[in-house]
Amino acid sequence: MSSYKPQDIEQKWQKHWADTRAFEVTEDLSKPKFYCLEMFAYPSGHAHVGHVRNYMIGDIMARTMRMRGFNVLHPFGWDAFGLPAENAAIKNNLHPETWTRANIAHMKGQLQRLGISYAWERELATCDAVYYTWNQWLFTRMFEKGLAYRRRSNVNWCESCQTVLANEQVVDGGCWRCGTTVTLRELEQWCLRITAYADELLTAAEGLSQWPEKVLTMQRNWIGRSEGARVRFALPGQVGHWADGHIEVFTTRIDTIYGAMFVMLGPEHPMVEQFAAASPDPAAFRAKAAKFRAQDKSARMTGEVEKEGFDTGRTVTNPFTGQEVPVWVANFVLGDYGTGAVMGVPAHDQRDFEFARKYNLPVRVVVQPEGGTLDGATLTEAYDGDGALVESGEWNGLPWQEANRRMTAEAASRGIGEGTVQYRLKDWGISRQRYWGTPIPIIHCPSCGMVPVPDKDLPVELPKITEFTGRGDSPLAQVPEFVNVPCPKCGTAARRETDTMDTFVDSSWYFFRFCDPHNNDLPFDPKKVAYWGPVDFYSGGVEHAILHLIYSRFFSRVYRDIGLVTIDEPFTRLLTQGMVLRHGAVMSKSKGNVVDPDDMIQQFGADALRLYVMFVAPPEKEVEWTDSGLEGAFRFLNRVWRIADHCTDIVRSAPAVTGLAFDEADRNMRRKTHSTIRRITQDIDPRVHLNTAVAALMELVNELYAYAELRGVRPLGVDDELRASVDRVETAAVLRETLEALVLMLSPFTPHMCEELWAQMGHADGVVAAGWPVCDEDAARDESVEIPVQVNGRLRARLTVPADSRPEANIALALASPEVQKWTDGKQIVKVIHARIEQPISIVVKG
RNA sequence: GCGGAAGUGGCGGAAUUGGCAGACGCGCUAGCCUCAGGAGCUAGUCCUAGCAAUAGGGUGGAGGUUCGAGUCCUCUCUUCCGCACCA
């Protein structure tokens, strides 16, 4: 009897997989493909158990699908650009690349020690020039199509990271990475026109049936589609000359325009400065507006800010009523949403209502609920419910929804506005004033303007620089030989762009690169992506719900529109895995509560760790780490090992099950084996209930022990003798069938141990060659069934009947049984329900 | 405020379509085995009453639909997550 020594076994098989290139794949049209991907990793240093849970989930899927005959692509790589490397460089005087490569090496070792079945020959790191050159290539295509453009705008600035952040990267008013409060800066900045795809991204989200509803909701909210109208309010004396003097507002409720008693400008609105310049005291005017603009940065942090505004002293004409209304500047009007100006309808918008009450502006009710008598003078809150128009001239009496449609059309026909769709989603600012990222391949020429670097000159390589200061200007601007270049068009002295790209650019298409990672002519061969794409199973953290996952959907469409891919959506099925907590908190180095997988591997082996993490909860759920749970998994593996090892010789010499005459115990064991096969097959795919799959295997092992006990072949403990034989050939066959199925089904979870046992059982070719076990429906079928019997909804008896018995016979049997008669005696039987054998018998009595 | 998800034993969690609530594991209890056990094996473990058979109660709370509800409907409480002045 050999005891279970995971460390030896695991090293042996990891080496075997590497030596035989076991997980490397090529396109093979004769097999169905399965592209299994986990979000690649930022090489931060050490992976903890929370990180690797995701890779384990993917690995179970990949290994299972391989056994089911799929051609499985399961690659891994590194999201290797980014600020921490640069910060580490500043702190430790290490080059970002040195730091990054060392971390990659360590983390790769961790993943290999866990036995994750990656096609390592496809490994990529986004900081490799052979990767980021294609960021530059794609950027150039986008520039040509007008999808990449430069504009001067207020951008989110993180003082600590010394760089710009995209809107999506601002969380609660702070930097998504370090939490520092974000300020606004006006900068020239490169943007990608994701808004061109806003509508498609929104509509297509409806078709993502295998994504979690939560993620889709977040994406919908983020895109924020809103149907409404733009309406122009003319400055006095400007009627008919809209272009010269008007304020355009965006509203979703044009039907309430008769109640628009004022117009509000956001403090960033260009007309604010015009009004200030023409006002009696321009300095005071500007100061008030500037105060509001300054509020904005902290407004989000503190939550509610007091609604404030000031009268500009100017008026505009309400285009529907002809009434002159005052123009105010209001701090709660956002400069970058809609037109940056709104009409104030206090009776029907709560914010406008509060504003009007505060500054004693008039309130006019123009929508009345049925039989309602709302009065602007006494209203205590805005009314936004159903109703019909009043005080609205020719529109009176119309339900507001209808008025909304008709008044939008009216505005368009009169040239004073038009229906429009507004999105909350903004273009994606990708300029970063840092070093460790992809250089933006543009050259600024004094005579030709912005000229993309010709494809033949790509990549624009990051120059090696040695000093990192962390100052806010781009480090690349400090490298004259990088900056000073001739214009590719006219040859005159020009300056290279010194911003680098947001690292989310890197991660927005890496899943395509994995299909063809060594291509030197294109980002990837379209034929290879046509074979592998889209990703069939993608798993990662929910924190990427609106960043990475929306950018990737955007980039897939860009690649589609330049003709390299034919699919719209990159990820067919998405699983967002839960985090691993310890002491109730997310694992993090700063909290000192990380569990290093290597420590656990050393104690219990990678297989036990994998099994425990998969068993403890469904993949989507967050879990609390417990050492005792891991010990339980280890105990289970020992149990499997002992019985498999104990029976090795029996199994090796046992016949197959065909043609044997089995007794009842044999048949019960076989039934359990085959029903387990059926159940686990479903549990892994499509259900991805990996925890119940493990539970089912534990049940099978429990039953196997009981069977072995009955047949006198149960292992007793440490000092067991190896059993060479068993007296019944049927027993041997059943043991073989059960153990083989068990080892194969367990192998995606604990691959090392199972490969070892499989080999020990006399199979030279490994578990993938053996294939996934198939459920024999005849063997799985129940011979008898226990039917619960209820009387008036209460369980009163159980009936054991043959599985093929007829329902009427069962009902008769139930009614005749003493346990049932105890409750039906002297009562009138109203009805009995039992149509199928799987259905309990339900007897209803009266009296 | 809006949107989403979820509330089941001492704990993690099971329960595909409305059909025996608590699978499986952890922990705990008892027994066996052992020089020993932080090993292994066997049995027990939702609550209440009872020696027991058994009876009653039980899936956050209150109603409802149904022969039958953890599951469906209405209301409500709590927790977590996301968005948050988006006109």
Question: In 3-state terms, what secondary structure has residue A642?
Answer: helix
* pLDDT tens sequence across A572-591: 999 999 999 888 888 888 88
Q: Tell me the mean pLDDT in the region A471-498.
A: 91
Instruction: List the A114 CA – B6 C1' distance (angstroms).
Output: 32
Confidence (pLDDT) at A370 = 84
Backbone φ and ψ of A125, nearest 5°: -130, 130
Which residue lies nearest B6, CA-to-C1' measured?
Answer: A621
Contacts (Cβ under 8 Å, ≥6 apart) of A836 = A807
- Name the pLDDT band for A241 (thresholds 50, 70, 90): very low
Statement: residue A240 has pLDDT above 70:
no
Please say if the pLDDT value at position A417 is more than 50.
yes
Beta-carbon-side half-sphere exposure of residue A405 (alpha carbons within 13 Å): 4
- What's the CA angle centered on A566, arms A560 and A567, to 5 degrees? 90
- Burial of residue A785 (CB within 10 Å: 0-12, 13-18, 19+) is middle
Rounded (to 5) percent helix, strand, coil in chain A: 40, 20, 40
The nucleotides of chain B lying under 7 Å from a protein CB are 3-5, 12-16, 19-21, 23-27, 33, 39-42, 55-57, 67-69, 81-87
CA A525 to centroid of chain Cα atoms: 26
H or E segment at A779? helix A777-780
Question: Poorest-confidence range of A231-240, A371-380, A646-655?
Answer: A231-240
- A257 within 8 A of A407, measured Cβ to Cβ: yes
CA nearest to A698, candidates A651, A665, A746: A746
Place of tokens 């795809």: A197
Closest nucleotide over all strands to A176 (CA to C1') = B82
pLDDT exceeds 70 at position A104: yes
A176 touches strand B (CB under 7 A): no
Give residue for tokens 């010394």: A162
Res A470: pLDDT: 66
What are the Cα distances from residue A275, in Å, to A244, A245, A279, A296?
Answer: 14, 12, 6, 21
Could you say which residues 555-574 of protein chain A have a Cβ atom less than 7 A away from any atom in strand B? none
- List the structure tokens of A399: 């339900």
CA of A661 to C1' of B6 (A): 51
A232-244 average pLDDT score = 65
SS3 of residue A757 by DSSP:
helix
The C-alpha angle with vertex A191 and arms to A188 and A193, in degrees rounded to 5, equals: 150
Closest nucleotide (C1' vs CA) to A798 is B20
| Complex-level ipTM beyond the 0.90 threshold | yes
Residue A366 DSSP code: -
SS3 for A143?
Answer: helix
Whether nucleic acid strand B comes within 7 Å of the CB of A672, the answer is no
Q: What percent of chain A has pLDDT over 70?
A: 96
Q: CB of residue A351 closer than 7 A to nucleic acid strand B? A: yes
Integer CA distances (angstroms), A111 to A39, A55, A80, A610, in order = 14, 8, 16, 12
Answer whether residue A1 shows pLDDT above 60: no
Q: CA-to-C1' distance for A201 and B4, Å?
A: 20
Per-residue pLDDT for A289 more than 50?
Answer: yes
Instruction: Please compute the mean of the pLDDT values over residues A458-471 and round it to a whole number.
Output: 85
Nucleotide closest to A678 measured between CA and C1'? B16
Whether pTM exceeds 0.80? yes
Nearest residue to A510 via CA among A768, A138, A173: A138
User: Could you check: is the Cβ of residue A639 within 7 Å of any atom of nucleic acid strand B?
Assistant: yes
Whether any strand B atom is under 7 angstroms from the Cβ of A222: the reply reads: yes
> What's A33-64 look like in SS3?
EEEEEECCECCCCCCCHHHHHHHHHHHHHHHH
Retrieve residue A522's tokens. Answer: 């294109």
Single out the residue of A45, A48, A51 nearest to residue A577, CA to CA. A51
CA A736 – CA A723 distance, rounded (Å) = 13
Task: State how far Cα A768 lies from the chain centre.
Answer: 30
Cβ contact A838 with chain B strand, < 7 A: yes
User: Which tokens go with A577?
Assistant: 């895995």
Longest dimension (CA), chain A: 110
Q: Which helix (H) or strand (E) holds A14?
A: helix A6-19
Which pair of tokens denotes residue A835? 């149509």
Distance, CA of A253 to CA of A261 (rounded, Å): 14
Distance A305 CA to B56 C1' (A): 58
Nearest to A428 by CA among A250, A297, A524, A552: A552
Tell whether the model's pLDDT for residue A303 goes beyond 60: no
Strand B: which residues 772-791 of A lie within 7 A (CB)?
786, 788, 790
- HEC per residue, A776-813: CHHHHCCCEEEEEEEECCEEEEEEEEECCCCHHHHHHH
- Say which residue, A298 or A125, is predicted with more confidence: A125
Evaluate if the CB of A304 falls below 7 Å from strand B. Answer: yes
What percentage of chain A has pLDDT greater than the value 90? 73
Å between CA of A699 and C1' of B60: 32
Instruction: Provide, in whole angstroms, the distance separating residue A835's CA from nucleotide B66's C1'.
Output: 16
State how far the Cα of A648 lies from the Cα of A736, in Å rounded to an integer. 9
Half-sphere exposure at residue A503, Cβ-oriented, CA atoms within 13 angstroms = 22
Mean local confidence (pLDDT), A794-820: 90
| Strand B at less than 7 A from CB of A226 | yes
Q: Is pLDDT of A136 > 90?
A: yes
Whole-number Å distance, CA A487 to C1' B40? 79
Quote the tokens at residue A173: 């008013």
* Residue A179 structure tokens: 């939490």
Checking each nucleotide's C1' against the CA of A330, the nearest proves to be: B85
| DSSP structural state of residue A577 | P
Distance A785 CA to B19 C1' (A): 14
Q: Do A382 and A352 contact (CB within 8 A), yes or no?
A: yes
As a rounded value in angstroms, the CA-to-C1' distance for A88 and B67 is 70
Give me the pLDDT at residue A8, please: 92
Q: What is the mean pLDDT of residues A737-763?
A: 97
At residue A242, the pLDDT reads 44
The SS3 of residue A427 is coil
Helix axes A751-760, A606-615, angle to 10 degrees: 120
**Nucleotide lying nearest to A840, CA to C1' measure:** B19
Q: Is the CB of A631 under 7 A from strand B?
A: yes
| Mean pLDDT, chain A, integer | 91
Residue A635 CB in 7 A reach of strand B: yes
Residue found by looking up tokens 């409060």 in the block: A181
Beta bridge partners of A444: A450, A495
- Which nucleotide shows the minimum CA-to-C1' distance to residue A718? B40
pLDDT tens sequence across A589-613: 888 889 999 999 999 999 999 999 9
pLDDT at A300: 46
Q: Does A198 have pLDDT greater than 80?
A: yes
Flag whether pLDDT at A362 surpasses 70.
yes
From residue A369, alpha-carbon distances to A386, A424, A458 in Å are 6, 30, 65
Pairing type for strands A246-251 and A623-624 reads unpaired
Query: Phi, psi (5° rounding) for residue A417?
Result: 175, -175
Binning pLDDT at 50, 70 and 90, where does residue A239 land? Answer: very low
pLDDT for the residue numbered A738: 96
